[in-house]
Chain A
């Protein structure tokens, strides 16, 4: 009898609808209005790569040791260097980082002995061309500059 009444009065469906209505309270909204509202990115987020420069003298921190290129599973890092005859050290000439193949695993970051290569919190990596996804030394040092839109 009780079961029949429950069936007739749609108790099970009303119960479910109660949950739905409870959630419709505007204070429960969790959707981020992404381009207008910037998302909170975690400190450790692995996004666009950056080649750090020494803030004191503007020189690159990279010592061209090639460890990041060796650690990369996709072989997408190419370090161009030249032996400086005076200091006998390697000078960084160019550094290419192909983000189109990168899976942001962070192994290059871990391998870097001087914390020169770092994956940053920038995540807007879209580009209009394939060439645009290949970062050279200049982009890596200055950081990506995604187009800013006004809302």
Chain B
């Protein structure tokens, strides 16, 4: 294989697991021909904690804090998915008030998650400024979580059957203020990025994934919508009262990195819209449905999927009639979406690979579980 200096021999390189642009501990083995990527292979598992196994040794109530630690950027969505799955097993439903508060917090969490994605993604591509702005606005959302449930990141906000905490005084005002503040800020990010020539050059036509490929890989969430398929579980299989709220599903056409960016920006605006509708009409009533103190769901299984910020988040729980789940399987959106990395990165440049990893919006805590 010894070649002269000018020979373009293939080179295998490790990108990560401590590469700053892999968003955690993802290791990508890249086969290169010069600057061009011939193929990639993702190595995962550096953050594996065995969450699914932990579920088998905890009661249903005890396991709820652990799901927050999978997708820690969108912990509230995780909690919602888990609670809905157990409620389905129990044949219980959260009260209308609990559902409305759940929707508000989940949508705020979606905005917070997308903000973090935008900041880090822009940082990967070379725009440092948006990161500071995104973190600044995310702080306001986290403050609402802190005031509501006492934690900022791994919130443990919801309990099976409803909510543990009543909304605090000034919750509606804080959320409305956040919405009023957020829309101009999203415009500001767009002013910074959307028209910027470097941003456009780095994104348009990079990492194209069309609808067929998305479906073949099981890719969901903003990546699927950017490819032109208007699939959103909030609309398709409404849960937690989402059918009551009016919102659009933003879609793209080309399925490239730029479209995914645009879809996520639009999604933040739609989330603001949902939050506004939900805050305007929080029904009065109890926050906790009538569920027993010791949860013993009947023998059976339940699968519930929700639209997490990153895609379809599913919880499959098998009950054997005891207080502990027999099996808890999580269908994490990041894990499934990560598969498409090789398809998107093949033939692109190394610098584009960084942009593509960023655009998948992976959280390694969720990929490895």
A residues whose Cβ falls under 8 Å from a Cβ of B: 7, 12-13, 15-16, 18-20, 23, 30, 41-46, 71-73, 103-107, 110, 119
* Assembly CA distance A7 to B133 (angstroms): 26
Q: Is B191 among interface residues, defined by CB-CB distance under 8 A?
A: yes
User: Is A73 in contact with B139, judged by CB distance below 8 angstroms?
Assistant: no
User: Is A30 in contact with B149, judged by CB distance below 8 angstroms?
Assistant: no
Q: How far is the CB of A25 from chain B (nearest CB, A)?
A: 13
List chain A residues, Cβ under 8 A from B165: 44
User: Is B65 in contact with A16, judged by CB distance below 8 angstroms?
Assistant: no
User: Is B195 in contact with A15, judged by CB distance below 8 angstroms?
Assistant: yes
Q: Is B214 among interface residues, defined by CB-CB distance under 8 A?
A: no
User: Is B150 in contact with A12, judged by CB distance below 8 angstroms?
Assistant: no
User: Is B150 in contact with A44, judged by CB distance below 8 angstroms?
Assistant: yes
Q: Please name the residue on chain B nearest to A22 by beta carbon.
A: B188
Q: Is B18 among interface residues, defined by CB-CB distance under 8 A?
A: no
B residues whose Cβ falls under 8 Å from a Cβ of A: 58, 61-66, 69, 129, 133, 136, 139, 143, 146-151, 154, 156, 164-165, 168, 188, 191-193, 195-197
B191: contacting residue among A19, A45, A46, A72, CB under 8 A? A19
Q: How far is the CB of B169 from chain A (nearest CB, A)?
A: 10
Q: Please name the residue on chain A nearest to B147 by beta carbon.
A: A42
B65: contacting residue among A41, A107, A119, CB under 8 A? A107
User: Is B133 in contact with A23, judged by CB distance below 8 angstroms?
Assistant: yes
List chain A residues, Cβ under 8 A from B146: 41-42, 44-45
Task: Say whether, besides A73-B58, A73-B63, A105-B156, A16 and B150 are in contact (CB < 8 Å).
Answer: no
* Assembly CA distance A90 to B197 (angstroms): 72
A-B contacts, 13 listed (Cβ < 8 Å): A15-B195, A16-B196, A19-B192, A30-B139, A42-B147, A44-B150, A44-B168, A45-B151, A46-B150, A72-B62, A106-B164, A107-B65, A110-B164
Task: Say whether, besides A16-B192, A20-B129, A42-B147, A7 and B139 are in contact (CB < 8 Å).
Answer: no
* Assembly CA distance A46 to B68 (angstroms): 15
Top-10 shortest CB links A-B: A105-B65, A44-B150, A73-B62, A46-B150, A12-B195, A42-B147, A42-B146, A16-B192, A105-B156, A45-B150
List chain B residues, Cβ under 8 A from A72: 62
User: Is B147 in contact with A44, judged by CB distance below 8 angstroms?
Assistant: yes
Q: Please name the residue on chain B nearest to A46 by beta carbon.
A: B150
Q: Please name the residue on chain A nearest to B151 by beta carbon.
A: A46
User: Is A103 in contact with B65, judged by CB distance below 8 angstroms?
Assistant: yes
* Assembly CA distance A7 to B198 (angstroms): 12
List chain A residues, Cβ under 8 A from B191: 15-16, 18-19
